[in-house]
Structure 1
Amino acid sequence: MKQGQLVAEIDPTQYAAQVGQDKALITDLEAQLAGWQAKLALARWTYERNSRLAPQGGATGQALEQSKSDLKVAETTVASLGAQIDKARNALKVDQANLGYTQIRAPIAGLVISPTSAVYGNAWSKVDIAHQGQTLNANQNAPLLMRIANLDRMVVRAQVSEADVARLKIGMPVNFTTLGRPDRHMEARLDAIESTPELVNGAIFYDAAFEVANPDHSLLPQMTAQVFFVLAEAKMPLAALASIQRQSGARIPGCPSAPPSEDSDCVRVLVDGQPVARPVTVGVKNEGNAQILGGIEAGDQVIVGLAGAPAGNGSGKGNAGGKGGGNGGR
């Protein structure tokens, strides 16, 4: 559907008739005004003539007063008709606007989505849209005729818990996937954090919203998305599996019992067949990987567990990875 395209029309008979009456009234008033302007010109000429003749006795005092009165009547009538015409023209503008409202046109270019649509507010709810043959009464409520969506750009809204919303910043990177395409990550930047809280099963959430380009229209209204907010990231770092670091306070042989700081730790690498403790500087990390800023190099064999360790801790060795990832042992 194109912008400005006619999508519905209300019976215009009453409004069209009112516009016609307004135009006829303006025509009549303009005709009266033209007649009285002619009378005004004659009354002014007569009064000026009698004013010259009266001192010489060429016109009586009564004739002079009558011509003066006729001039005053003509002037006031012309002014009154001018005001009536202005009033009628304003009324015509209002009635033409009301007539225009009988034609409902698309405010934007887009697609007409389902005649019964869900609206995202404090909760998802059904909204019944008018159907063919239904009588609408705009005096009681604003009827919803249809919903037009521009799918070229979509707004994604994510519910964020009150514990996490303080960590969000406008402009931070965001990526998300949909249920139908979990392998496709789409990227954007956070546009808004709404301040109105929403209570869901006793928990407080806030809406975080962002726009994303949708040129192929693969994203559709009401889709479910899993959103990831990027708090920190490292491009092509030296990284290794988090299992090479301390887990639950376990002590790594040859390393201190506790890391000196949050951004440092200790791992063991295999050098000439022997394990050697190496202090490392740790950068960005998550549940699966840790960025290694220094202490080991790409290609070093990192010991990720001990032989005979309980299942789940992992055992063997792996290569510290370059350019974004490391290969863990099995």
Structure 2
Amino acid sequence: MLSNTCRLKKIALTGGVIMGLAGVIVWYCSATSTPDHPLLTATVIRQTVEESVLAIGVLQPIRKVDVGSQASGQLKRLLVHPGDHVEQGQLVAEIDSTLSKNALLDAQVALGSLAAQKLSAAAQVKRARLALRRNQAMAQENAVAPQSVESAEADLQAQQAQLAVVDAQIHQQHIQVSTAQANLGYTRILAPVSGTVVSVSTQEGQTVAASYEVPVILQIADLSIMTVRAQIPEADIDRMRVGLPACFTTLSGTHTRYCSVLKTVEPAPEKINNALFFNALFDVANPVAALHPDMTAQVSVQIAQADDALVIPLTALGRAVPDGRYQVKVLTPQGKTELREVKTGIDNAFSIQVLDGLTEGEQVVLPGDDWPRTP
């Protein structure tokens, strides 16, 4: 037992010898001892150890589009429901088109009226040109005064100007017709992208007003690829970089692990309860639609990895000593314990890599009430 091994007999020696003997005994008793009760131990093994940053994230579709109406009126037909797959250009809803059709008819009638006015103006130009020619011919024979020629020239110019005005009005009215046709087209709401209908905001019979902003009818998302927005704590942001491996699981209970690499680390932080977080983004394929928008993701971003490393439980570390080393208590084959100083490498929440000081298969003592924990 430790008490028997370390028991000192009374020896009458000089002060210097006593101090030297005491130092040797203290070292021996602390470095090697026989435990007086069973110890909890762990075996030094070889395995892969990863150092990771853990974070909580949220899943979002790689692309989500608000589908709105540029036309005002009553929603007459809604042709899709949440969960439906739609193709780009597919009709998904219709707004009452009565007013838009009437506006187009008015614009077309006005265009027809201007076309008739152009015919009349062109006829007036032709008449004025003939009158000018007659006056010019008669003026050569001194049959009319010079003022008659000047008057005919002015009349021709006036009729030509009127024809130009009608041409401009026709051009403007073509624009009005085109606008009315576009407004009529806006009553037919088409899917701008292919994807899945994830929400419907307006129901049949509701009136939408597009006077100031485009009202949202529904949302379409591309769910084939999902983007994870992981909230990285401020303390770990300097360790993040594009290309790091990242994995996550969801709370759905399937325990499926999805992995990818970081594609973006946003520079602007978000403040949540007075703490700063930075969004790290990565994409994952979703071929069977098992991932859904707004799901919670338990994210692990791998910072470093050591393969075939000597590993011990993180709790086996004792006090820190100089040169960045730690004390570890080892159980020898003789059943005694001894203190070792080990150099460590990367760690996760459970295990730590040992670079030197231990060999595979040795037994390290896990902490008890009398074993100092790592500060």
- Higher Cα Rg: structure 1 or 2? 2
1:301 matched to which residue of 2?
Answer: 361
The list of structure 1 runs, each at least 4 consecutive aligned residues, that deviate by more than 6 angstroms after superposition, is 264-280, 294-297
Residue 249 of structure 2 is aligned with which of 173, 177, 180? 177
Determine whether 1:290 maps to 2:375. no
Within 2, Cα distance between the matches of 1:30 and 1:312?
Answer: 105
Counterpart residue type for residue 96 of structure 2? D
Q: Deviations over 1:138-178 (max 9, x none)?
A: 44765332222221011222333333334333443221100
Q: How many residues align?
A: 285
Residue 224 of structure 1 is aligned with which of 296, 311, 319? 296
Q: Deviations over 1:17-43 (max 9, x none)?
A: 111221222222223223423432443
How far residue 230 of structure 1 moved from its aligned partner, in angstroms, is 1.9
2:218 matched to which residue of 1?
Answer: 146
Determine whether 1:310 maps to 2:364. no
2:240 matched to which residue of 1?
Answer: 168
What percentage of residue pairs aligned between the two structures are identical? 32
**Alignment check: 8 A CA contact 2:128 2:152 kept:** yes
Within 1, Cα distance between the matches of 2:155 and 2:361?
Answer: 116
Counterpart residue type for residue 214 of structure 1? N
Within 2, Cα distance between the matches of 1:98 and 1:196?
Answer: 42
Please show how residues 96-115 of structure 1 align to structure 2 within 5 Å: 96-115=181-200
Q: Deviations over 1:37-77 (max 9, x none)?
A: 34324433442453344133144435313321221121111
Q: TM-score, normalised by structure 1?
A: 0.71
Within 1, Cα distance between the matches of 2:329 and 2:92?
Answer: 69
1:156 matched to which residue of 2?
Answer: 228
2:94 matched to which residue of 1?
Answer: 9
1:260 matched to which residue of 2?
Answer: 323
Within 2, Cα distance between the matches of 1:285 and 1:13?
Answer: 70
1:209 matched to which residue of 2?
Answer: 281
Unaligned runs of 5+ in 1: 116-128, 250-257, 314-330
1:317 matched to which residue of 2?
Answer: none
The verdict on how the C-alpha distance between 1:25 and 1:287 changes in structure 2, with shifts beyond 3 A counting, is: same
Counterpart residue type for residue 309 of structure 2? L
1:240 matched to which residue of 2?
Answer: 311
Counterpart residue type for residue 150 of structure 2? E
How far residue 241 of structure 1 moved from its aligned partner, in angstroms, is 2.0
The verdict on how the C-alpha distance between 1:98 and 1:192 changes in structure 2, with shifts beyond 3 A counting, is: farther
**Alignment check: 8 A CA contact 1:265 1:282 kept:** no
Counterpart residue type for residue 237 of structure 1? D
Higher strand share: 2
**Alignment check: 8 A CA contact 2:328 2:365 kept:** no
2:173 matched to which residue of 1?
Answer: 88
Counterpart residue type for residue 302 of structure 1? E
Quick one: higher RCO (CA 8 Å, sep 6+), 1 or 2?
2
Unaligned runs of 5+ in 2: 1-85
Residues 10-19 or 176-185, more deviating = 176-185
Within 2, Cα distance between the matches of 1:267 and 1:45?
Answer: 121
Query: Which SS does the other structure have where 1:241 is aligned?
Result: strand
Within 2, Cα distance between the matches of 1:233 and 1:241?
Answer: 15
**Alignment check: 8 A CA contact 1:237 1:293 kept:** no
Within 2, Cα distance between the matches of 1:37 and 1:266?
Answer: 107
How far residue 268 of structure 1 moved from its aligned partner, in angstroms, is 6.3
1:195 matched to which residue of 2?
Answer: 268
Q: Deviations over 1:229-258 (max 9, x none)?
A: 222233x33231244963344xxxxxxxx2
The verdict on how the C-alpha distance between 1:292 and 1:52 changes in structure 2, with shifts beyond 3 A counting, is: farther
